[in-house]
Structure 1
Amino acid sequence: MIPDNNQPKNHLIVAYQQMMSRVRETLGQASHKTLQQHIEAAQEKAVELNELSREEAERVGNYLSRDLQDAAEFIITTEQALVNWMRFDLELIEDRLLAMFSLMVDHTRQELENLAERARQATEWYSGEITGPGTLSCDSCGKTLHFHQPDYIPVCPNCGATLFKRVSEEDEIVE
């Protein structure tokens, strides 16, 4: 059902995870669709089932696409594992969530390169958006925020800023 304005926004976090799940399921089927087309199909399904409004589905799809693009760029650029992009122990992540995220990131090398190019054009995260697992750094003060599952990005607890960048192990910032 489409949530009303009084319902907590946590339904978008659940929708992010559901969208990841749907993309993972369709990736396993014989198809010549791009990852972005799989995400768009998952968005349509969420709207069709009245889980989200069209605007919410597009927003959540954009969050998922952005996170996957960033992970793809990291893997291609550094040739390091997804665990280094996330910057924390894999045991802290649910196996199912990691498997879904990994499958989507590893879909094809060519598609990752295409995603990485688009990621160079969109590398900013803002408070109020949803992000997937990983570490973000405040663009103003460098404070890092660690996400072990999809969640809303808060304002920086250190300086109140709203703009963040993804941080990899190589970019480690001393707080």
Structure 2
Amino acid sequence: MDKKSTPSQMDKGYARMLERTHEIMSKSGERLEAAVEQARDTAHELGELTRDEAELLAQYVKRDLRDMGDHLRDENDDLRAWFHMDTELIESSIRDLLFSVADQTSLQLAEFARAANQPATWHTGEITAPGVLECTQCGHLMHFTQVGRIPPCAQCHHTEFRRRRDLGQARSK
């Protein structure tokens, strides 16, 4: 029986899955979704995560990459607005990995987003990439400078969020 990972191991597992996705794409030219699935399988095969944990983290990575692709397609913008904060505040290794995946696969990211065909939502307890999430109930902004687990809203304790992409508007709040 597999033992469950700690929250810190899950955060590291997300970062490692993103790193493996980038490595797989760089070395084999594999498409984005297949690369995430290979990274998921590797994490489980190496005993880093249980099968369920690896699947869950793969879903989180796919969700974040789909949303990034949607942003790049819709906004015709760079990723600074997607992160919705000064990129210097973001953990450099994660920032660099996300930028490299985006640079390699802008078209694939956009296709990936279209395939989902639904607005992305984030929930308390999930793990997310750096950026700003907004509470769907009260509008409170939560800033993530590194991969992390999403807590309930600090203002209203609601558990559902969306990613903020409109850098100018959020700074004025």
TM-score w.r.t. the length of structure 1 is 0.90
In 1, Cα distance between the equivalents of 2:89 and 2:168? 21
Q: How does 1:119-138 map to 2 (within 5 A)?
A: 119-138=116-135
SS of equivalent to 1:106? helix
Counterpart for residue 21 of structure 1: 19
Of 34, 38, 42, the match for 1:41: 38
SS of equivalent to 1:16? helix
Residue 168 of structure 1: how far off its partner (Å): 0.9
Q: How does 1:25-174 map to 2 (within 5 A)?
A: 25-31=23-29, 33-170=30-167, 172-173=169-170
2:7 counterpart of 1:9: yes
Q: More deviation in 43-52 or 90-99?
A: 90-99
In 2, Cα distance between the equivalents of 1:19 and 1:73? 21
TM-score w.r.t. the length of structure 2 is 0.91
Uncovered stretches (5+) of structure 2, i.e. residues with no partner = none
Uncovered stretches (5+) of structure 1, i.e. residues with no partner = none
Q: Look up the equivalent residue of 1:62 and give its one-letter code.
A: Q
- Contact 1:138–1:163 (8 Å) recurs in 2: yes
SS of equivalent to 1:107? helix
- Percent identity reads 32
Residue 8 of structure 1: how far off its partner (Å): 3.0
Residue 92 of structure 1: how far off its partner (Å): 1.2
SS of equivalent to 1:52? coil
Q: Look up the equivalent residue of 2:70 and give its one-letter code.
A: E
- Higher helix proportion (structure 1 or 2): 2
In 2, Cα distance between the equivalents of 1:147 and 1:170? 14
Total equivalences in the alignment:
172
